[in-house]
Structure 1
Amino acid sequence: MTTPLDDGPRSDTALDAAPCATDFRATLTLRFSSTPRGARLARRIASQQMDAWGWPYGTEANDTVELITAELAANAVTHGRVPGRDAELRLVRDADARHVRVEVADVRGERLPLPEPDGRPLADGGRGLVLVVTLAEEWGVTPRSGAPGKTVWAVVACP
């Protein structure tokens, strides 16, 4: 697993993401299995990456990115799953280290997320995306670049 730094050197670990002197925009990309175990891995790696980028465990920024990653990854493996096809997590820290963009891609482009719960008070699902909408500065869905499917993304302010 590697952590590419946009056009910069590549690292042998997912957690070594310090930017080089000429490139201050850092990116982590991780493919994970479309299973609940894969979604848990994505959540844990996101939290570890936030810690490596300077937002320690237990801080608001780390917890928010971890929760948003958990919700988007869970949605990807629940609603976007195609057996044998992986999902993908991508975290991007901006040059000023003030925002982190969380992207989770899956291969089911026809199944778009709906942020509204279905209205039933005891519904089993439908609340995860409401949390994302509430916690993120902005969010959206885009077609997956160069592959079938979609990418659901959210931007988190990180003081």
Structure 2
Amino acid sequence: MTSTRPPLAAHRFTMSFSSSPRGARLARRMCEHWLDAWGVPYGNDAHDVVSLVVAELCANAVRHGHVAGRDFHVLLTADPATGVVRVEVTDTRGERLPAVPAASPADGENGRGLLLVAALADRWGCCPRRSGGPGKTVWAECAARGLISPPLMP
């Protein structure tokens, strides 16, 4: 898994969320809203895929990247020219790097999140936090046709 810089995106949403299940749920809901506003409507396959990827990455940030008193950060970008949506979730635990498990117990309730991300995203990976502080960024890119170009600024 290598890191790549996201392209200059026409659409951008970024926000910090409390490192809690409620924060992860709010992050998913906010990303779903922006995808819909950018031309990837609710109920569309691409919308559902990106929403699930966001949910898994945020849940992992809360479960495995939680540090008391520290938030996690979400950056959602979308480029209508390429039809690519990129999700970046940054937490403050750099020593716990993501890895797709070799196998998960058939009746287990956990351990499948990154398997889903790997199966659904076109590409995904992990890189050090851009700001240079402690932590990591886990990112994923998904195809999403139908993105609307933003209006030009006067």
Instruction: Quote how far apart the aligned CAs of 1:130 are.
Output: 0.5
How large is the RMSD of aligned CA atoms in angstroms? 1.4
The answer (yes or no) to whether the contact 1:117–1:127 under 8 Å persists in 2 is no
Match of 2:148 in 1: none
CA distance in 2, matches of 1:109, 1:152: 11
Change (3 A) 1:50 1:62: same
Instruction: Quote how far apart the aligned CAs of 1:124 are.
Output: 2.5
Match of 1:148 in 2: 134
Q: TM-score, normalised by structure 1?
A: 0.82
Instruction: Quote how far apart the aligned CAs of 1:49 are.
Output: 0.5
Q: 1:80-132: per-residue Cα shift (whole Å, max 9, x none)? A: 00010000011011251500000100000100111125432222311011000
Whichever residue aligns with residue 76 of structure 1, its letter is A
Which consecutive unaligned segments of at least 5 residues does structure 1 have?
1-22
Which consecutive unaligned segments of at least 5 residues does structure 2 have?
1-7, 146-154
Match of 2:44 in 1: 59
Match of 2:13 in 1: 28
Stretches of 4+ moved more than 4 A in 1? none
CA distance in 1, matches of 2:104, 2:111: 9
The answer (yes or no) to whether the contact 2:27–2:58 under 8 Å persists in 1 is yes
Report 1 or 2 for greater relative contact order, CA contacts < 8 Å, sequence distance ≥ 6. 2
CA distance in 2, matches of 1:151, 1:24: 18
Match of 1:107 in 2: 92
CA distance in 2, matches of 1:54, 1:80: 31
CA distance in 2, matches of 1:99, 1:42: 19
CA distance in 1, matches of 2:80, 2:39: 14
Match of 1:83 in 2: 68
Match of 2:144 in 1: 158
Match of 2:23 in 1: 38
